[in-house]
């Protein structure tokens, strides 16, 4: 948009010369979920910051390529499931299993990174610092809430404004709630009960008027602590020139602009199921092939 390719009215508001009126910044999707489903266990099996930073842990990795440092970000397992809302044979919710929780780093980097308020952290998570926990993130696979990316300024060093509109469509909230219930059922299985797995039951501030673990309580909590996957896609939607919302064509060329392609997750017209990383690699590989074809 800084180059003048974007919504004409928005660009003129910022004093940017319009090169091409285009729906850049619209159609933004993200795999939204819930970060606060935490369970306590009675064995020393989780990734506490104080435990990970021991010299023996680094040594175990260096010498044996084993141990806690081999776990990518604490995410140990994923499950893709169909809920009662599924409209076809594909999974509509993901459960991401993490061998730790919001409190596992002692309230330092993670709290700041995901912008948890002091009130929420001190009420819910500070009491379980240094305790062994695990977490499940229920994540919508095909969200219906649509966001938008806009500019704050024509200064390229000023970050853009992202308005994801999380849970603006009720479907997303109800699907996360259904995934949350599936996760709680899994926590009650024999495999997890071996570790005395117990749902952390301190209420979120702002949700205290609801009875804990009721549907209304969870709906409230989900809105207080949404999880994002950094899977933002769609703001330069791919589609035919006849589509007024399309920014690039099927060869990733920007409609109405010569010599310019967009090659990243923003060209995805709809949110894929599953994580988007492999799809982004595919877009890059395909673009490289198309560029070579054109230069021949």
Q: Which two tokens stand for residue 267?
A: 């060209």
Active site residues: 231
Report the helix count and the strand count for the chain, using DSSP H and E.
9, 11
Beta carbons of 60 and 54 less than 8 angstroms apart: no
Beta carbons of 135 and 100 less than 8 angstroms apart: yes
Q: Which two tokens stand for residue 142?
A: 């095909």
Of the candidates 247, 284, 240, the residue with the CA atom closest to the CA atom of residue 265 = 284
Rounded distance between C-alpha atoms, residue 90 and residue 135, angstroms:
24
Residues with Cβ within 8 Å of 181's Cβ and at least 6 positions away in sequence, in order, are none
Q: Over the range 258-276, which residues count as b (16 or more CB within 10 Å of their CB) and which as e?
A: eeebbbebbbbbebbebbb
Q: Which two tokens stand for residue 228?
A: 């994002």
Rounded distance between C-alpha atoms, residue 47 and residue 27, angstroms:
37
Q: If you ran DSSP here, which 8-state letter would residue 139 be given?
A: E
Beta carbons of 81 and 273 less than 8 angstroms apart: no
Beta bridge partners of 58: none
């Amino acid at each position: 948009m800084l180059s003048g390719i974007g919504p004409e009215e928005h660009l003129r508001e910022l004093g940017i010369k319009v090169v091409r009126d285009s729906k850049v910044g619209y159609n933004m999707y993200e795999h939204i979920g819930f970060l606060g489903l935490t369970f306590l266990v009675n064995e020393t099996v989780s990734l506490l910051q104080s435990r990970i930073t021991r010299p023996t842990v680094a040594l175990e990795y260096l010498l044996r390529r084993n141990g806690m440092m081999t776990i990518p970000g604490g995410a140990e397992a994923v499950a893709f499931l169909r809920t009662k809302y599924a409209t076809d044979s594909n999974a509509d919710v993901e459960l991401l299993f993490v061998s730790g929780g919001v409190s596992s780093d002692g309230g330092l980097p993670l709290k700041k990174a995901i912008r948890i308020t002091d009130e929420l952290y001190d009420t819910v998570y500070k009491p379980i610092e240094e305790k062994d926990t695990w977490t499940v993130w229920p994540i919508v696979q095909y969200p219906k809430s649509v966001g938008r990316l806009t500019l704050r300024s024509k200064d390229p060093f000023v970050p853009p404004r992202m308005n994801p509109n999380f849970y603006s469509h009720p479907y997303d909230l109800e699907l996360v709630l259904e995934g949350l219930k599936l996760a709680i059922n899994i926590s009650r299985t024999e495999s997890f009960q071996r570790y005395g797995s117990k749902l952390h039951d301190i209420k979120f501030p702002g949700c205290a008027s609801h009875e804990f673990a009721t549907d209304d309580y969870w709906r409230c909590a989900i809105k207080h602590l949404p999880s994002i996957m950094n899977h933002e896609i769609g703001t330069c939607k791919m589609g035919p020139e006849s589509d007024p919302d399309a920014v690039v064509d099927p060869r990733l060329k920007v409609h109405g602009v010569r010599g310019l392609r967009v090659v990243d997750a923003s060209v995805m017209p709809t949110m894929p199921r599953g994580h988007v990383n492999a799809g982004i690699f595919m877009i890059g590989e395909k673009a490289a092939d198309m560029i070579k074809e054109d230069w021949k």
